[in-house]
Amino acid sequence: MRFWHDTWIGNMTLAKLFSKLFLNSKQKMNLFMELGSWIGEDWRWDLKW
């Protein structure tokens, strides 16, 4: 599942909902699981701008 390009909320992608963040992202084509990792029981985001 692509973080920015797949539909998560309603019928819009995160790229459209948060277009300014998307434009600054260095991870535009990454899958959800490539943008973070589990540390113990917590999910830690690793977004690159």
Identify the pLDDT of residue 8: 84
Q: Is 3 exposed, middle or buried (0-12, 13-18, 19+ CB in 10 A)?
A: buried
Q: Could you report the per-residue pLDDT of 28-40, keeping only the tens digit for each?
A: 999 999 999 999 9
Long-range interactions of 10-19: CB distance < 8 A, separation 24+: none
Give me the residue label for tokens 């490539």: 34
Identify the pLDDT of residue 18: 96
Residue 11, domain member (yes or no): yes
Domain that holds residue 25: 7-45
- Residue 9 confidence class, pLDDT cut points 50, 70, 90: confident
Residue 45 has pLDDT above 90, yes or no: yes
Residue 2, domain member (yes or no): no
Structure tokens at 1: 């599942």
Distance CA 36, CA 38 (A): 7
- Residue 41 confidence class, pLDDT cut points 50, 70, 90: very high
Per-residue burial over 32-49, b if 16 or more Cβ lie within 10 Å, else e, is: eeebeeeeeeeeeeeeee
Residue 40, domain member (yes or no): yes
Residue 1, domain member (yes or no): no
The tally of domains found in the chain comes to 1
Residue 4 has pLDDT above 90, yes or no: yes
Residue 27, domain member (yes or no): yes
